[in-house]
Amino acid sequence: MTDDEFTTEIYYESDADQSQLDDVTVAVRGQGSRGHAHALTPHDRGADGVAGPREDPPPRSAAEADGLEVTTPVEAAAQADIVSMLVPDTVQPHVYEQIEDELEAGDTLQFAHGFNIHYNQIQPAEDVDVTMIAPKTPGHLLRRNYENGEGTPGLLAVYQDATGDAKAEALAYAQAIGCTRAGVVETTFREETETDLFGEQAVLCGGIAELIKVGYETLVDAGYSPEMAYFECLNEMKLIVDLMYEDGLGAMWDSVSDTAEYGGLTRGERVIDDQARQNMEEVLEEVQNGEFATEWVAENQANRPVYTQLNQAEKDHEIEEVGERLRALFAWQEEQESETEDEREKVQAD
């Protein structure tokens, strides 16, 4: 399939007009990894950047050290032509209440995820543009790729075009943070939100984590050592995913042994069977009809009782203890921990 055969538009450097950001002030709400990258990179490309972090000293000091003008969230919104909402989904409605009156006609309210717009947790005035630029990578990698002259694929969506220039401005913003170097896929707030939530729940986070744990438990319950179960069901997962990521499923099948390929092709559908498919369809339906969003909003309003219990149970699973012991024995562990700590220092919490 060529670019011409894709069902959605994909934009590159030549499609963006950087002059759309001339004399534009961008206010970034959120100074975590995403906010850090979104604030610095447009600033490097000539746009005026204003950071409106919370009052805690670390975020404010970091933003000042990066050469950004630092002010309160409300003052930042008042100065800005584009307000980029990069705080967590659960915090965004409260932040929007703080800055809503500061948004003027023709301003842009920009998101990196469509949850609060799609599920009506935030309802912007009709005279502002509402757009989304969603780089498909963690914030610190977005910034690193940009500094290395590389690009990061991203998504673009326009929910509300009050000015008639919302898409052009969003494309210029995508170019400013390096996304058009790799390619920007046009989507909608609905499509981005629903596919993102489904992917996280059914495959990327929920599905894979549960598959790993059940595989581990099946082997241990059958009498095999926890260490072997860990290696076979969790440690080798990265090797397989890397192959898929680099060149697709075909590259993975070509790289594993014939025995592994035959076993996977003949047994995989017995594990992920019609019942699993039906369960996935039910998960998708709950995303589409808003049932999950309503549940998650209520969970946060109740101070996260279910989330806290499930989160702790996940941390207490035997595979975590076994993995911690084994990883401590790996020759590369000390170096890896050092690199991870370096990354954590760069990624401040929102």
Active site residues: 113
Give the H or E element holding residue 294: helix 291-301
Q: Which letter does DSSP use for residue 25 in this model?
A: E
Burial degree of 23 (CB within 10 A; 0-12, 13-18, 19+): exposed
Structure tokens at 317: 């699973």
Chain centroid offset of residue 124 CA: 23
Which amino acid appears at position 113 of this protein?
H
Detail the DSSP E strand segments found in 13-102: 25-29, 48-51, 69-70, 82-85
Contact, 91 vs 350, CB < 8 A? Answer: yes
d(CA 254, CA 183): 28
d(CA 257, CA 253): 8
d(CA 28, CA 26): 6
Instruction: Write the CA distances from 44 to 14, 173, 273, integer angstroms.
Output: 19, 12, 50
DSSP, collapsed to helix, strand or coil, labels residue 18 as helix
The per-residue b/e assignment along 184-202, b for 16 or more CB within 10 angstroms, e otherwise, is bbbbbbeebbbebbbeebb
Give Cβ neighbours of residue 227 (< 8 Å, ≥ 6 apart): 322, 326
Closest CA to 30 of 41, 21, 39, 17: 39
d(CA 350, CA 343): 15
d(CA 79, CA 49): 10
